[in-house]
Amino acid sequence: MMQAFLRLLALLACAFVGLQLFFVLRIAAMLWLDPQSTAFERSQAWQRVQATGSLRWRQQWRDYDQISVHLKRAVIASEDDSFSSHDGLDWAALEKAWAKNAKAEDRAAQRAAQNAAANAKNARAPKVVGGSTITQQLAKNLFLSGERTLLRKGQELVLTLLLEQLLGKQRILEIYLNSVEWGEGVFGAEAAAQHYFRKSAAQLTPYEAARLVVMLPRPRYFEKLPNSEYLSARAQVIVARMGDARLPGAAP
């Protein structure tokens, strides 16, 4: 019985190591090869085909130098202001996110207790605040499913460290900007720039870049609200912060 258990553990260990080697090879290849799609993109495409029977997919790869510097600065200013200096994980941001989520859960529990049985079902769930870096977001989009489990989170952290070690900041930002979702079937900076502004990603102005970045947490939602006052106001805030955003390779 013990021998069978040990053999099972050995097989699981070998499978884990094999999986990590597979990821290492996939990531190392991205030094020279541009990824044609991500796990997230394929998942979204499959869901759309199942729902509508059709596939809408707009994506055009653009090299790092063909993407507006304003968009690079806007993404860093909004999504990950320490991107150029951290090792893939922003522990301070994670700590703040955990603290905010804990407070939100406490407030939700207090509201539920106050509402009593009849109204408890109408109590809103607490808003979960993320602390993911750009590298973590890329790791998740490239390789992982959308499920939230401890095992998946652990794999995300491993992939984040591999991306940082094997690719470097500039390549990470390049792949991220070419694969992130910006609307229903709209992936990457070039497709987003053409879709919303009828111009190339290289020609985006600071305000246009900031407006695109504000959409990132909920791109399909904001795609339906092109005249949103929130988008405009938040974009102005991002524009004001873009001057402090440090790009990969730039002097401190």
Per-residue pLDDT tens over the stretch 67-121 = 999 999 999 999 999 999 998 887 665 556 445 544 544 554 455 555 544 443 4
Residues 6+ apart with CB under 8 A from 232: 211
Residue 10 belongs to a domain: no
Assign 36 to helix, strand or coil: coil
Q: Compute the distance between CA of residue 102 and CA of residue 127 in angstroms, rounded to an integer.
A: 10
DSSP designation for 39: H
Shared domain check, 246 and 175: yes
Q: Count of residues for the chain?
A: 252
My answer on whether 217 and 252 are in the same domain is yes
Question: What are the E-state strand segments in 5-92?
Answer: none
With a cut of 80, say whether residue 35 has pLDDT above it.
yes
Cα 161 → chain centroid: 15
Domain boundary among 108, 130, 152: 130
- Residue 124: the pLDDT is 45
User: Could you say which of 77, 107, 130 is where a domain stops?
Assistant: 130
Give which of 45, 251, 246 is closest to 134, Cα–Cα: 246
The verdict on 103 and 178 lying in the same domain is no
On whether residue 142 sits in a domain, the answer given is: no
The pLDDT-based confidence of 131 (bands split at 50, 70, 90) is low
In this structure, the answer to whether residues 106 and 77 fall within a common structural domain is: no
Instruction: Give the span between the Cα atoms of 8 and 76, in whole angstroms.
Output: 44
Q: What is the CATH number of the domain that holds 196?
A: 1.10.3810.10
229 and 198, same domain (yes or no): yes
Least confident of 57-71, 98-112, 220-234: 98-112
Contact 110, 155 (CB under 8 A): no
CB 89: neighbour CB atoms within 10 A?
17
Which range of residues forms the domain containing residue 221? 42-88+168-252
The verdict on residue 29 lying in a domain is no
Domain assignment present for residue 83? The answer is yes
Judge whether residue 32 has pLDDT over 50.
Answer: yes
Which residue reads 């004001």 in tokens? 240
Q: Which residue has the higher pLDDT, 220 or 53?
A: 220
Rounded to whole angstroms, the Cα distance separating 44 from 213 reads 20
78 and 214 in contact (C-beta within 8 Å)?
Answer: yes
Please check whether residues 111 and 172 belong to one and the same domain.
Answer: no
Residue 167 identity (one-letter amino acid): L
- Pairwise CA distance, residues 219 & 182, whole Å: 5
Q: Are residues 198 and 109 in the same domain?
A: no
pLDDT at 4 over 80: no
Q: How many CB atoms lie within 10 A of CB 151?
A: 8
50-59, 105-114, 204-213: which range is least confident on average? Answer: 105-114
Same-domain pairing of 123 and 235: no
117 located within any domain: yes
**In a shared domain, residues 77 and 96:** no
Burial of 246 (0-12, 13-18, 19+ CB in 10 A): middle
Residue 20 in domain: no
Do 117 and 177 lie in one domain? The reply is: no
pTM to 2 decimal places: 0.83
User: 54-69 burial string, b = 16+ CB within 10 Å, else e?
Assistant: eeeebbebbeeeebbe
Domains of the chain: total = 2
Residue 59 lies in a domain: yes
Question: Are both 80 and 179 inside the same structural domain?
Answer: yes
Assigned domain for 4 exists: no
188 and 74 share one domain: yes
3-state secondary structure at position 55 = coil
